[in-house]
Amino acid sequence: MAGMPIAGVVWQHVHYIVGLQRLGHQVYYVEDSARLPYNPETFEVNDEFDYAAKTLSKLAGEFDFKSRWSYCARYLKENPTAGFPLKKIRQLYCDADAILNICGTQEFNEDLLKSDRIIYVESDPGVEQIKIDKGQRSTIDYLKRHHALFTFGENVPTKSFPVPKHGFKWHATRQPIVTELWKTKRAPARSATHSVADGPKRAAVLTSIANWSTSGLKDINWRGRRYLWSKSREFLRFVGAPKKAGETFELATNIQEARTRKKFLNSGWRFTSPLQISVDYWLYRDYIQQSKGEFTVAKDQYVRLNTGWFSDRSACYLAAGRPAAR
């Protein structure tokens, strides 16, 4: 949430923190990373962690884990921290009943490896399983250091998932959603309105929030075929959907190619900037609540590998009382 403080990522972690607290657990949030943090306001990646610390302090106050968070900059010589000190982090690693590696992005260090209760929670099923099948030693060793492996791909533990497991036992789990944080009494606006206080408001439409092209980041070849991690190709298959449905569809995304953007606009789509929505997690929630519903697509990898993955963002739409079509 601090190293990559993008709204969708923030909500993924907040749901775990709040949900576990409501189940009676004492929850601590630690980012202990050798990766440089990203500042979405300046679009910079550097060794400064003021923005990261400010983000966690704000979240801790809003979601009741104040004094129970820490950010450790392992990329700096003295391993400086914001929040509670490194000594407390080390103690928690030894004492915690469970350490959740949400999204499976946590690097190991000698302090963390003193725990034998690290739980891997995979958000993007398919890639790691293929790496195991291809014998990638770094992935195999990394996953073996975990006490248990969970995945958002509900088919991954089953025979309907085509990639061999090679002795790794995967457990299906679903993304937690604190529904109370998404419920709204506001019905979607049926028509455009204007008020002195709020200014003009457009009628609610079907929306989606997406990073347009992430191809290359996690694309992977397996048994002679290439599996893509980007949504762009999948959206192009539905470019004519607004006209066929008689609805206006809106994408909060960043299509750079003018020709592709024009193709969508001519087919009844409209666009809104994703920048502020991705930075402000409350604005992200408001955007979903004010939508008529969600129309989106799943990534090529998830579908063709039959992972059984379902989007936590779609679950947020549903929690807000908005239908989700994908």
Residue-wise pLDDT for 152-176, tens only, equals 999 999 999 999 999 999 999 999 9
Single out the residue in 140, 156, 172 at which a domain terminates.
Answer: 172
Single out the residue in 125, 154, 172 at which a domain terminates.
Answer: 172
Which pLDDT score is estimated for 81?
Answer: 98
Spell 13-40 as b/e; 16+ CB within 10 A means b.
bbbbbbeebeeeeebbbbbbbeebbbbb
| Residues 261 and 216 grouped into a single domain | yes
| Residues 214 and 153 grouped into a single domain | no
Torsion over CA of 210, 312, 226 and 158, rounded to 10 degrees?
-170
Residue 152 lies in domain: 7-172
pTM for the model stands at 0.93
Which pLDDT score is estimated for 174?
Answer: 96
Q: Is 2 inside a domain boundary?
A: no
Instruction: List alpha helices for 153-257, DSSP H.
Output: 232-236, 241-245
| Residues 119 and 228 grouped into a single domain | no
Which pLDDT score is estimated for 252?
Answer: 96
pLDDT in tens, the chain (326 residues): 999 999 999 999 999 999 999 999 999 999 999 999 999 989 999 999 999 999 999 999 999 999 999 999 999 999 999 999 999 999 999 999 999 999 999 999 999 999 999 999 999 999 999 999 999 999 999 999 999 999 999 999 999 999 999 999 999 999 999 999 999 988 887 765 434 444 456 789 999 999 887 767 789 999 999 999 888 989 999 999 999 999 999 999 999 899 999 999 999 999 999 999 999 999 999 999 999 999 999 999 999 999 999 999 999 999 999 999 98
Which pLDDT score is estimated for 190?
Answer: 75
- As given in the structure block, the two tokens for residue 14 are 């907040």
Which pLDDT score is estimated for 201?
Answer: 63
Count of structural domains, the chain: 2
Contacts of 315 (CB under 8 A, 6+ apart): 175, 177, 324
Pairing of strands 99-102, 38-39: unpaired
Which pLDDT score is estimated for 169?
Answer: 98
Which pLDDT score is estimated for 215?
Answer: 65
CA distances from 111 to 78, 93, 256 (A): 14, 7, 43
Distance CA 84, CA 79 (A): 13
| Residues 154 and 21 grouped into a single domain | yes
| Residues 189 and 301 grouped into a single domain | yes
| Residues 40 and 147 grouped into a single domain | yes
